[in-house]
Structure 1
């Protein structure tokens, strides 16, 4: 009886590589389908902001965010088949493969969000990975277009989600979960939704919780990493309540940039420049893999010394 149940749960057949193209076509591109809805809500927020004279949108910055977002969608569409091959390969290696069942979406989502928390947290603590995320934090206004600022090279961090694949979830379930997770993060990038009921704020990464994450004040730095469930931050000691209004953007401001290439790669350019001028292997390693905060303080110290001399 038990063996029969386990077999029905974890005894799914391997996926033939000849089926991958068909699987890729049958896996819904939820984000692509959602673009008209996101565009409508964004234009609505723009209109309300303009009518109320709140100035939440800066033209160059918002156009830059949109170009970054469109580039990200295009890249994901182009590499989707490759990622399918990777996840199908892992899936076929496992003896505990789960079948394509709707209910597996729920445990998969929780595990995916847990991995997302750590991927996000480490991306703030290590400069090489920070370069794949910095574009999302460079906006100095906070509005729905900021959710479009997803790095063109962020798929490097796919490795953080291999534990999800190693649990045996079907590749289509993983791809659907990934897209729903990204879609959830759209609505939290707004100043129009204030604090929600206490239990909602305690469980979910709400607009209030996520505004903190985009704040550049010291008390807000490296806080509230969760994508969907804010209780990960509460558990692992990175939660911060929204108190005063956040000052958005990087600690070193870059202004209202429009160029999506600059927005995606300026940190990589700076990193290579720092490595080029650094003396010794240890210092070069530091400028690639060190903490962005420590690197910022180091460069600030250097600048002060140069001013004094």
Structure 2
């Protein structure tokens, strides 16, 4: 089964080119827009994620199908209420997935790829993880609710396509009701910021209401500084993909106690054991 988002890839690349040309003819300052090596890395990461993700998606389909089989009821795709339930359930699953991948280091090690660029443009949306295996637990409950697996996969693709358009500085804040309910480029710029006030904020996929309800929302205010709190300074796709796994492994090997080893894996990024008195 080919994910629906794959069919959108040619349009993604075309829009990246259009946005890059817009900076050529309507330039911003040098810190904004596109840089050739950075864009090449993002495109490489995106291509690699698709190559790795396709066989994994086949495994996910089998897992969703197995969960759907044992679900106590099966919801009909012919009912509009099933689609309404799917929309909100998928978006809530994405919020939980996204928040966990920022707060648990072993999960962050895969997701950090997406935040590793110091630039923010449509190509950044394609800078994706090469370790998609951690997604399954967050969407499996949807199949257990009786939602057909093909619907889950379709809605995942719809969400990813929507989120592609969030990665731009060419769109300012939108109409206030839109900004209140939906994730927008302004909200997502905050999410990619390394400013202290912006860290671990705005995890939403299509909707921003989960952030507002759970206390993780932050409006865009001060100028966003993109990238990591400690940037990796490399354009090598392999290093971008696995640098945090390597760093976590070094910390685990250097830890003296099992509690410290667990903290380096399951604590938040940057976790360190308390100094002994």
Report the TM-score, using the length of structure 1 for normalisation.
0.84
Moved more, 86-95 or 197-206: 86-95
Pair 1:53 & 2:27 matched: yes
Q: Within 5 Å, which residues of 2 pair with 1:1-309?
A: 24=1, 29-54=3-28, 55=30, 56-101=33-78, 103=80, 104-255=82-233, 257-295=234-272
1:8 is aligned to none
Partner Cα separation in structure 1 for residue 182 and residue 132 of structure 2? 23
Structure-1 separation of matches of 2:163 and 2:79: 22
State whether residues 144 and 189 of structure 1, in contact with CA within 8 Å, keep that contact through their aligned partners in structure 2.
Answer: yes
In 2, Cα distance between equivalents of 1:150 and 1:251: 19
* Pairwise CA distance, 1:102: 6.6
Provide Cα deviations, 1:72-113, integer angstroms capped at 9, x if missing partner: 112222222221111111111123012333732332021011
Distance 2:266 2:209 in 1: 28
Match of 1:15 in 2: none
The count of residues paired between Structure 1 and Structure 2 equals: 271
Preserved CA contact (<8 Å) 1:100 1:172: no
Deviation string 1:165-220 (CA, Å, 9 cap, x unpaired) is 11100111001001111111000000000000000000111000000000111110
Which blocks of at least 5 consecutive residues in structure 2 are unaligned? none
CA distance in 2, matches of 1:130, 1:102: 37
Query: What is the RMSD computed on CA atoms of the aligned residues?
Result: 1.7
Cα deviation code 1:210-251 (max 9, x no counterpart): 000001111100000001100110000010010011100000
| Counterpart contact for 1:113–1:229, Cα < 8 Å | yes
Q: Secondary structure at the match of 2:57?
A: helix
Contact 2:202 2:208 in 1 (8 A): yes
CA distance in 2, matches of 1:49, 1:244: 22
Match of 1:19 in 2: none
Q: Is the 8 A contact 1:205 1:230 kept in 2?
A: yes
Contact kept? 1:105, 1:177, Cα under 8 Å: no
8 Å CA contact 2:39, 2:123 repeated in 1:
yes
Distance 2:148 2:187 in 1: 32
Instruction: State which drifts further: 95-104 or 136-145.
Output: 95-104
What is the SS of the residue equivalent to 1:189?
Answer: coil
